[in-house]
Every structure is written in C-alpha cells, then in structure tokens.
Amino acid sequence: MGCGSSSQAAAAPSGSGNSNEPPGQASGTTPPQKTVSAKIANKTVATVYGESDPEFRNLPKALTDPTTHPTSHLRLNVVFMNRTEQTKPMKLIGMDHPMHHGPGFAQVYNVEKKILGSGATGDVKVCTKKSTGQKYALKYINMNRLKKAEIAAFLQEVELLAVLDHPNIIKLYETFQDKSKLYMIFELCPGGDLFDRVASKQFLKEKEVIRIVKKMCSALTYLHDRHIVHRDIKLENWIFEGADEDAEIKLIDFGLSVVYADNEKYHKVCGSVHYVAPEVLKGSYSKACDIWSMGVSVYTMLAGARPFNGRTDEDVVDMVMAGHLSFHEPQWTHISSECKQWIKACVCIDPHRRLTAKQAGMHVWLHKDDLPDPPEIDKSTLSAMMTYEKVGKLKKFAMQSVAYHMNPEEQRKLRAEFCKVDTEGNGYITYKELLQAIRRTDPAMAEDKIKDMFDGMDIEGKGHVDYTEFLAATLQKRIYMEQEALYNAFHLLDTTDCGTIQSSDLATIFGNSLKPSEIEGIMKEAKTSSPGVITFDEFKELMNSEAYTKNGRTSVVQIPDH
C-alpha cells in the first residue's frame, strides 16, 4: 500500500508503480541546492516485486477474540454486515450513540465531496459524525473491484490498528462494511504529510528534524517491541495532526505491516523503492528494514533530496544495493557530526550493525540539547492519578473509551504529561518510569502508594501503562461527564442496544479474560434499582462518583471536579 496525494492522502491505498523522478537527473548524483524542491516534487508509491500476494484471510482474530487484547473493545467500533444486508450488523466494539441500533455508515456519517487523496483502490475524504459534528478521515474501498488479497490487506490493517495505542500512530475509530464497500474511520489529521512539509520548505532545519525523529523512534520502538514491522516507512506515511509547526506527527498505512516472531525472516519484497532496505531487495529481512527507511527519510528531510536517486527504479535499486551516502553537498556543511553519525548508523548495509529503534531514539544526537533533569509532572496530573486508582473497573473502562476519542486539543496537555513520564520514549510507561516521575514531583510519597497508582492504571496486568490508559487516569471530570462522552461510553458497554448494561454485555466484551465472579463484582459498582441491570441514569451517577470495591464491598462517594 502506498500514498495518496495530499493531507491525509497517504491513508488511501495505492497500487504498484514506478518512481516519477524529475527528468534530466543523472544516476547517482545529487543536484545543487537551488533545485531542492524539484528533487522531491513527486511522491513515491509502494512497489511490490516478485512473490505472489498473500492468501485472503477472514476477519482477523484480534477483532473477534476479546482475550487477545480486551480493552481494545473500549476504543473501536467495528460493524460488519453480511453480503445481503438482511441481518443486523454485529457490533464487536461500540462507540456511537446508544440510540443508533446497529446503524449503517450512511446513518452515522455525512461525507464531504472534497477528496483528500486517492489511490488505486479508493479515496480518502472528510466525513462528519451526525450526532456530534466531529470530523474524521474516511478511507473506503470498493470491494467488488479488488482481488481477495487486496481486501485481506485492508482487514490486516484493521487488525493491527485495533490493538495499537501510541500518540504517534494513527487512530482507527470505526469500521463499517456493506455489500460493496469497506469504510474505515480515522482521526482527521489535516496538517499534510511530511513529504509536503519538506517540499514546501525545500529542507527542514536540524532542530525541527530532531523533534520529529524522537517521535518516529518512539513509534517504531513501540511497534518493534510488539513484534510488528511496518515495511513502508517513508515521508509520505507520516502525517501532521495540524498545520502548526509543532503539530503532532502520526504514522499511517499499515497495509504492508506484518507480525513477526523472534529471529524470523521475511521474504516478500515490498515497500517503496527510494526507501527500501537492501536486504528487502535480496528477499530476506527483519524489523531492521524499518530503521534503514527511517534513516533515508531523515537524510531527505535535511538535504531536501533522497540519498538514492535515479532516472529509473532499476537505477535506484542499484544505488540502494551499493548503499553509499554522500554528505559533500553544501547543505550538509551546517549539519552536526552527531546527526551524520546517526544517519550512517541507520542507513547501514549490514542490518546486524544497524541501530535498533530504541538505540536510535536514545542516541546522543537527539538528546544533546535536553535539560539535565526531566521536568516534573503537573500536580493536577498527579492528583487525577491518585483519584483514578480508587475508582472501580466499570468506570475505568468507560473513561478509557472517553480518553481514546478525545480531540487533539483536549489531548495536548495530557500528551505532554505522558511524554514527561515516558523517559525511554517507547510509547508506554513502566513502573520504574512512573516511580521516577512522581519522585521528581513529590519526593515524600510512599512507594507502595505509587505502586497502587501504577496497578490502578495497568488494569490488565501487562506490566506497563499504555497511552490511552494514562489519558484515562488523568482525565478531568468535565471531559468525561460531557453528555455525548457519557452516551458513547454507555453505548460501548450496551452490546445488545437494549438501553441497559447487563452482566452478559461484559461477558460479550471481555470473553474469558474476566471470570463470572469478577463480572458480578464490577456490576455491583453501580447503585442500581434492579440487580444486574444498569440504566443510563445509574451509569451517569456512577461516573459522577468515586466507586471502588474493597473486601467485597462497594463504596460510592460523590467527588468534585479536579
């Protein structure tokens, strides 16, 4: 899968194709600085060489088996209809309004005519949710025009994005399928892609590149820690949340991504020709291919030109296989030696000598201007985490849903707080990181209290706190008590659209990950008029209170906003 043409266009799929380098450029040379913008004026598309397409797969297991990642059900709403559209769609994961009883896409969203980007298999447009007026990016495909393998690529993308939770990875909110189309609803990032930003400026300054690369390394570390290799890292697949200079950057397009086992090699030759690693072209590679592609991207950001240019794809491939980098052009005069060392360590022919994503993120180049000590976390953030530790699981599940769907402006401050704690830059928080962060803010806090706070956020017992879990723990009450947020969270838990939450709903959502006795305990967190049944008003009262179970008894205390 490749890129589109503008804004969130890279979220649109594209087919194979040749590079469109400007004419008149000699193979293996880099034109003078004055022609920088022309050198990257044409975006690349994913090129697949050789091996046959993967076999078609049915709906991914990660979406149908709640035990694979239970709380992903709190984030994503996936609605699949059968081919005849005669059966009510199955709501695997919910987020929309409780009055929508299994609606189709057209009942939930309006679509704007303007196309953000186009690919070989479909377009990307802006859509608006009717119930809230919130805008999203709509990526859709006409399945009747695709091969089974191409449809499988989209389902694979859904599978991966359903379980990824990182501030620099695009969020997938909802998916619909009717008899002819598959609709994917993403967060809208109208700031354009990284390719366009480089082309508009001719090149980026080193300080700006450092800010961006820290986030790239964090996203790749997160993926590689989860045994996922992206396989199509390029400027076109990084998009900006907004047009501001310091806007957040997001990695998109997981259509070529795969999950790998330790020491496993992949053999399908795929990716984008200007960014592809030499071992990929040889047909035997691992996650290290992403690091090469990131290094090529960084070289291009700083120089305004790709390191491996040619008139044809064959010319480019020859240059990639040689792996020679040139830093002799005038634009490199003012680039630091640490930066050049970093690029060389990423764009290294031998993948075994290449930096890992984590090593790249911890390199001295990226941290030479850091403050001596990490900043303290905000005291209001600490207070919110202390409160969150005490609330019951049902309220935590609902708060995670609210947190996942926060708009960028609401996320901005909490995201900054997350980054203060995530000092290793891997996209999640360990107990050690939380301990150190709180020690900087409140040195007198007892360690057992800090451990209780950590366990209160890590409700699945994974040993780390994901991004959305942190956001949920630090939410201000005014956000999660908004009427639409409450409706969405309630509808999420009301899997049968009957207007109440019942024990069977939690069993449906969490499967074998929760025992019947645990479900019974969670249901008792709400003050109800009928045992085992929670109405919306009772749910709202729960959300407005602090409720937790201790020694088998539930306490409910009304709490003020923090």
Phi-psi map region of 348: left, alpha, beta (phi>0 left; psi -120 to 50 alpha): beta
Residue 278 has phi, psi (to 5 degrees) of -60, -35
Sheet bearing 77-80, strands edge to edge: 90-91, 77-80, 172-177, 181-187, 135-142, 122-129, 109-118
Structure tokens at 416: 């900054």
The CA distances from residue 59 to 9, 62, 92, 151, 163, in Å, are: 25, 9, 11, 10, 14
Helix H or strand E encompassing 548: strand 545-550
What is the three-state SS of 277-339?
CHHHHHCCECCHHHHHHHHHHHHHHHHCCCCCCCCCHHHHHHHHHHCCCCCCCHHHCCCCHHH
Residue (of 175, 71, 158) closest to 466 by Cα position? 71
Token representation of residue 76: 């994503």
d(CA 549, CA 533): 18
Question: Please, how many CA atoms are within 13 Å of residue 138, restricted to the half-sphere of its CB?
Answer: 25
Query: What are the start-end ranges of the H helices in 105-247?
Result: 105-108, 148-161, 194-201, 206-225
Distance CA 425, CA 218 (A): 5
* CB contact at 8 A, 128 and 110: yes
Residue type, 163: V
Q: Tell me the sheet residues that pair with 90.
A: 80
Angle formed by the axes of helices 483-493 and 503-510, nearest 10°: 80
Among 123, 165, 196, 232, which one carries the catalytic annotation? 232
232 is catalytic: yes
Question: Which are the catalytic amino acids?
Answer: 232
